[in-house]
Amino acid sequence: MLKTILKIIGVLIVLFLVAIFAIPYFFEDQIKAKIAEAINEKVDAKVTFSDVDLSLIKSFPSANVSLDQLVIINKAPFEGDTLISLGEVDLKMSIKELFKGKEEAINIDGITSKNGLINIIFNKDGVGNYDIALKNKANEKGGKSDPLSLKINNYNIENFKFRYFDEKSKIKMIIDSINHEGVGDFAAQKLDLVTKTTAKITLDMDKVNYMNNVALTLDAVLGIDLEKSKYTFKENKALINQLPLEFDGFIQMVEAGQEYDLKFKTPTSSFKNFLGIIPAAYAASLDNVKTTGDFTVTGFAKGLYTDTTVPKFNVEIASNNASFKYPNLPKTVQNIIIDTKIINETGILNDTYINLDKLSFKIDQDVFNAKANIRNITQNAIVDAALKGTINLSNLSKAYPIKMDKPLSGILNADVTTKFDMQSVEKSQYQNINNAGTMSLSGFNYVDENGKTMNISNALIQFNPSQVNLKELNATTGKSDISVTGVLENFYGFIFRNQELKGNFNMNSKQLAVDDFMTTGETTKTSTKKADAMKVPAFLNCTLTAKATTVLYDNLTLKDVAGKLIVKDEKVTLENVKTSIFGGTIGVNGAVSTKGKTPVFNMDLKLNQVDIAQSFTQLDMLKKIAPIAGIINGKLNSTIKLNGNLDATEFTPDLKTLTGDLLGQLLSTTVNSSNSTLLTALGANLKFIDVSKINLNDLKAAITFKDGKVNVKPFDIKYKDIKATIGGTHGFDQSMNYNLKFDVPAKYLGSEANALIAKLSAADAAKLESFPINAVLVGNFTNPKITTDINSAVTKLTTQLVNQQKDRLVKQGTSALTDYINKNKKPSDTTKTATPATPATKEEVKAKAAALLNELFKKKSKAVDTTKAN
């Protein structure tokens, strides 16, 4: 009997387990259909979710329905904007809900969601993108019940982001890293909701940042009256960073908007409350910090929040004669006084004003004071402020645990008053800005994370009624020193409106090393961090007139550098920059831009009397364009136009991208042919030229280059009475293809040719033509291959000499031939007189002429010696 019972129990367990796994397959489509129907009948938006999964195990004994990638996309007027995106949504419900009919509502007990985004937007017309509920849908259904019903007991959201943007007021708020949970019976009309929340808040208003990743923690019990839409704070504890706050009162949804009646305060008056305001990135543990005095925050908000009004509110922040000292630091911050009020007495947002009546503190003997008033905050904020006092920067890290790799040092002095309105700042109406006073910094030392140092011996800024003048800035960093003066045109626009920093400056330097101002990678024992790409700051819009005795750039030393630099739109434009280098001068006009992914440049260079040996050795660009270093000595005048990409970290030209042209003239040159394999080979193949004696003085050449290929426009040179034309191409890889055309007088074609020419009269020798000889150079500069057609030129010369001799002999006339014939006649012929005009005499003349030529050239033809004539 027992065995039978056990078998039955075992079978039931198996059946139960099978049911747990099998039932979801029968109900998933039904659940999916109901969820899709519930959403689509409620909202006017595009709603998608990738899948629905039903599990009886995940939340056993309850059922769990999971939706993946639920996304709600707005329709017009926010077409394409994401309203809600949820990575995962889990709905918890009783298993019995699965067995309800299609017309019956399913009750949801709990909701859990992860990795969500809620994106609320108000356009310029005040319309919000969240209003997507379909109107009068229930009436159209004739009272048909909803497919889903929420009777939630608990909910949880994890890693959510809430974004809010109002185009009209330019308010932007981001609440990130939201983790929130609540427990309460939403089936009841009145309930207590127990909640826990953590988040980080960033708030910007009209380009001004007021909060940046401020940590928020809130544990609260909210009394909720669903019928009256009223939410009452019963028990709560909030932390803003580490500042504790308690709330009391309620928020109620009414027809006109929201009704507020809230009070808040710090639960204690310890000055530790103030230290808790400091953002977490700069904060430290408050344990064992000794404080005196108090710090309190109190306030209220009471009234209606509508489209045109806000609740009246008053926030008071106060501290009197307080101090603090961290246990492991030597300095105490004392005599701290804070008196600040944020007040709205009318319910009109623009009437809000902020009074910082006093902020004062003392470290050692240095006292610093500040006060400010801000009003008309939403329409055209008016700021009236004053700073006065001294801060020894080295004391900051000795009094507060500032997270810095290297401590600061220097003395900051300020005595400044200012009054301005934001519209004048934005429109650069400097006449409406009133400034007075000075601010100075001396003995400032800073070391960055890569060990680079910046030392400012003296800096002085003078605030005039409509200008901020940089009266003095003397600084050193690495091998560099700079001295700068100038005018900042829109100092407040840069500070408060994120505008470009405009100005005109003059800079002088004895030595400027470009490397000192470049971002480098970080080297450790185990790795080397890649250097950051150089970028021209986007916020700069200024002109710099500079002079430097010495500038160190890459491996170059430039002397007496002077010119103008215009910085704008992530681009530096160089105007009339001149420098002495390579024994001459170089003038530069052009621009460098880092706006794109890859830095680019275009330059016009003018080289005057620069030394060829130095410039073509030290400049990789010139080496590739014309590899003549060590071969040609002398001076060069040249204009070069070029453009291309720059290496993002070294800021040197990327030769693979170089494009441009060069026009050059050689001056006072000599040729060192022994240093050139090419010239040595050329001399061996063309024996009529001594390459070491080629005169290149005043030679002008035009060159273009692109895609690593250099094209040399044909140019002429003279060697003795030989004319040569040279042109062709070579690559940056040193491969080449050149054509050389020589116009060579016959006397240079070898000793055999000269022997034949010697038999001619001076008049006939002068009539000889010059002969074209072509040479082709291929291979590369270190292993050239040279071919010439000199043999055909020699053959042509021989033919010309033979024909010239024939013509000369024929033209000697009949008398010469007759004398020759008569001289060789037999005695029997002496009674006759030869008559040249008779046919018989003509035939005789021809025969005798042939015999004469055979006599002159009776030797067999020999190969003509092509060695160089003596």
Residues 413-430 have pLDDT tens digits of 999 999 988 888 888 787
Supply the pLDDT for residue 56: 61
Q: Does position 19 have pLDDT exceeding 50, yes or no?
A: no
**pLDDT given at position 35:** 66
pLDDT over 90, % of the chain: 31
Write down the pLDDT at residue 353. 94
Residues 155/112, Cβ–Cβ less than 8 Å: yes
Decide which of 470 and 135 is more confident.
470
Q: What is the mean pLDDT of residues 607-631?
A: 87
Q: What pLDDT, on the 0 to 100 scale, is given for residue 691?
A: 81
Q: In the prediction, which pLDDT does 653 show?
A: 87
**Mean pLDDT, rounded, for 220-246:** 87
**Across residues 483-503, what is the average pLDDT?**
84
pLDDT of residue 526: 46
pLDDT at 606: 95
Neighbouring C-beta atoms of residue 699, cutoff 10 Å:
19
pLDDT score of 822: 59
Query: How many Å separate Cα 280 from the centre of its chain?
Result: 30
Residue 740, classified by CB atoms within 10 Å of its CB into exposed (0-12), middle (13-18) or buried (19+), is: buried
Buried b (16+ CB within 10 A) or exposed e, 534-558: bebeeebbbbbebebebbbeeeeeb
Residue holding tokens 């402020």?
385
Assess whether pLDDT exceeds 70 at residue 815. Answer: no
pLDDT at 134 over 80: no
| Residue 15 pLDDT greater than 50, yes or no | no
Task: Report which of residues 65 and 772 the model is more confident about.
Answer: 772
d(CA 599, CA 2): 87
Per-residue pLDDT for 3 more than 50? no
pLDDT the model gives residue 563: 95
- What's the confidence (pLDDT) of residue 257? 82
pLDDT value, residue 688: 80
Residue 431 three-state SS: helix
Query: Which tokens sit at 63?
Result: 């059922």
- Whether 612 shows a pLDDT value over 80: the answer reads yes
Query: How buried is residue 382: exposed, middle or buried, by Cβ count under 10 Å (0-12/13-18/19+)?
Result: middle
Q: In whole angstroms, what is the distance from residue 323 CA to residue 363 CA?
A: 10
Q: How far is CA 263 from CA 253, 301, 316, 374, in A?
A: 18, 7, 12, 24
The pLDDT of residue 437 is above 60: yes
Task: Find the DSSP H helices in 750-869.
Answer: 751-758, 762-766, 790-810, 814-823, 839-856
- Please state, in angstroms and rounded to a whole number, the distance separating the CA atoms of residues 652 and 650: 5
- pLDDT average, residue stretch 767-795: 83
pLDDT tens string 267-294: 888 888 888 777 665 566 777 889 999 9
The one-letter amino acid at 146: D
Higher pLDDT, 630 or 83: 83
- Report the pLDDT value the prediction gives residue 812, as an integer from 0 to 100: 59
- Could you tell me which residue, 255 or 759, shows the higher pLDDT? 255
Mean pLDDT of 778-804: 80
Cα gap 578→670, rounded to integer Å: 28
Average pLDDT, the chain: 80
Q: Return the pLDDT at 727.
A: 92
- Work out the average pLDDT over 116-128: 85
> Does residue 832 register a pLDDT over 50?
no
Under the banding of pLDDT at 50, 70 and 90, the label for residue 528 is: very low
The least confident of 149-163, 245-259, 600-614, 693-707 is 149-163
Mean pLDDT throughout 650-670? 87
682 has a pLDDT exceeding 90:
no
Q: In the predicted model, what is the mean pLDDT of residues 110-119?
A: 88
Q: Which of 138-142, 342-346, 742-746 has the lowest mean pLDDT?
A: 138-142
pLDDT per residue as tens digits for the range 152-199: 778 888 999 999 888 877 788 899 999 999 888 777 788 888 889 999
Mean pLDDT of 743-750: 78
State residue 424's pLDDT score: 85
Q: What is the mean pLDDT of residues 453-460?
A: 92
At 345 the pLDDT is 95
Residue 826 has pLDDT above 60, yes or no: no
Please indicate whether residue 386 or residue 863 has the higher confidence score (pLDDT): 386
